[in-house]
């Protein structure tokens, strides 16, 4: 298990993620940002006009570009409707500011899907979730400031070059991070297979019962004040084992009930001790915050007029739709390259021809028929 970082370091990482590339086929993690380049920022940021900001909890961050805004967060319990696979995927994408309908890495991770969305969708009747979302603070870029840097534009392949396209996606990702929400979340996700006969209202009722038990008012007796500075003497956690394994909160836990509903318990942020109930975990978020949501802008949306942007857009769409391993993306795109094995249909004249267009022919006997030959070069692979 990786060691937790301090609230100060987590805040610095969140701010420094703004403007970096990201591959949205993976789950939301600060460590997954594209930082390999010496100067990894894909968009213009006014680093020379930095100022100090104070985040909730008294965290001071110096030299933050003026184009990056910081806002205080909120705490809320949210219960979704019972939706189809496609509808829930679109709802997740809206939260991430993604126009695409293709399932994101966050969606797949929260519902424990494999990533092959065609199979996942075919085996799923309905989805729903209910949980608490604690946002300590949000850092975001003003959209008027989004300008792609020239070196990124120059890296766009001008033709369908599978190797170059794969390198671009691996190096820069598919999208650019323009917003980060830090805090924690404790959520119950439910998957209903086609074998379950429960109606949507029944699924909603059962989910609410589970959530009410997990997030009971008795558990919320411990409050959070986002304005107070972090001090160790405010952390009062009772380390005890819960009596009921069914409601045991963990960072990731799943089970099935008698109606074949798949219940998935997920936590992000806070202490990941399995023995903490919801209220105890709630008080640890400010000491161990994590990213709970992000906002993105597609790289291709900033490539208007750049040669090859259409090829890159097509390659990214294929990658996100079928999600091949990134190390195999080159071979995958190579397989997608269209090849002309026969004359294009539109080039063949329709109806009877009064005059033979090709004069090149083979004749095996003096009075025998002529076999006319198309001299167009055919490339055999």
User: In the prediction, which pLDDT does 378 show?
Assistant: 62
Distance from the Cα of residue 13 to its chain's centroid: 18
pLDDT in tens, 20-45: 999 999 999 999 999 999 999 999 99
Please check whether residue 228 lies inside any domain of the structure: yes
Alpha-carbon distance of 75 to 225, in angstroms, equals: 11
For the packed helices 329-336 and 309-322, what is the interaxial angle rounded to 10 degrees? 110
Please check whether residue 64 lies inside any domain of the structure: yes
At residue 281 the predicted structure's pLDDT band, cuts being 50, 70 and 90, is very high
pLDDT at 240 over 60: no
Please check whether residue 267 lies inside any domain of the structure: yes
Please check whether residue 342 lies inside any domain of the structure: no
Write down the mean pLDDT value for the chain. 83
User: In the prediction, which pLDDT does 179 show?
Assistant: 96
At residue 311 the predicted structure's pLDDT band, cuts being 50, 70 and 90, is very high
DSSP annotation of 301 reads G
Tally the domains of the chain.
Answer: 1
Burial class (CB in 10 A: 0-12, 13-18, 19+), 97: middle
Query: How many residues in total does the chain contain?
Result: 381
Count of CB atoms within 10 A of residue 235's CB?
12
pLDDT in tens, 246-267: 333 335 555 555 568 999 999 9
pLDDT at 243 over 70: no
User: In the prediction, which pLDDT does 181 show?
Assistant: 97
What value does the mean pLDDT take over residues 236-254? 38
Q: Are 83 and 128 in contact (CB under 8 A)?
A: yes
Per-residue DSSP letters for 110-143? HTT--S-HHHHHHTEEEEEEEEEEEEEEEEEE-G
Please check whether residue 218 lies inside any domain of the structure: yes
User: In the prediction, which pLDDT does 234 show?
Assistant: 39
Please check whether residue 353 lies inside any domain of the structure: no
Global pTM exceeds 0.85: no
Give the structural domain span for 200: 7-335
Please check whether residue 282 lies inside any domain of the structure: yes
Please check whether residue 378 lies inside any domain of the structure: no
């Amino acid at each position: 298990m990786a060691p937790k970082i301090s609230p100060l370091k987590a805040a610095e990482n969140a701010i420094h993620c703004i403007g970096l590339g990201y591959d949205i086929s993976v789950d939301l993690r600060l460590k997954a940002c594209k930082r390999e380049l010496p100067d990894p920022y894909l968009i213009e940021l006014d680093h020379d006009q930095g100022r100090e900001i104070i985040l909730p909890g008294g965290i001071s961050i110096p030299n933050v570009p003026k184009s990056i805004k910081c806002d205080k967060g909120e705490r809320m319990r949210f219960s979704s409707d019972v939706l189809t696979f496609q509808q829930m995927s679109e709802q997740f994408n809206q939260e991430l500011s993604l126009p695409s309908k293709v399932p994101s890495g966050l969606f797949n991770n929260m519902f424990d899907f494999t990533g092959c969305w065609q199979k996942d969708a075919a085996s799923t009747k309905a989805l729903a979730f209910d949980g608490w979302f604690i946002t300590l603070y949000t850092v975001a870029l003003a959209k008027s400031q989004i300008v792609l840097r020239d070196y990124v534009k120059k890296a766009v392949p001008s033709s369908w070059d599978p190797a170059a396209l794969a390198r671009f996606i691996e190096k820069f990702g598919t999208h650019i991070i323009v917003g980060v929400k830090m805090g924690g979340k404790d959520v119950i996700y439910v998957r209903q297979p086609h074998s379950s006969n429960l109606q949507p209202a029944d699924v909603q009722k059962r989910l609410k019962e589970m959530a009410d038990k997990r997030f009971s008012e008795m558990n919320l007796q411990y409050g959070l004040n986002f304005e107070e500075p972090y001090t160790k003497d405010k952390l009062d956690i009772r380390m005890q084992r819960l009596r009921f394994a069914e409601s045991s909160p963990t960072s990731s836990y799943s089970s099935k009930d008698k109606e074949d509903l798949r219940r998935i318990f997920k936590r992000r942020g806070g202490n990941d001790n399995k023995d903490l109930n919801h209220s105890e975990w709630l008080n640890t978020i400010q000491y161990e915050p994590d990213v709970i949501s992000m906002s993105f802008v597609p790289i291709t949306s900033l490539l208007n007029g750049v040669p090859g942007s259409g090829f890159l857009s097509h390659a990214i769409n294929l990658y996100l739709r079928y999600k091949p391993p990134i190390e195999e993306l080159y071979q995958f795109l190579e397989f997608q390259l269209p090849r002309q094995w026969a004359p294009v249909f539109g080039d063949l004249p329709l109806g009877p021809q009064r005059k033979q267009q090709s004069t090149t022919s083979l004749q095996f006997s003096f009075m025998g028929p002529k076999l006319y030959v198309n001299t167009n070069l055919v490339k055999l692979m």
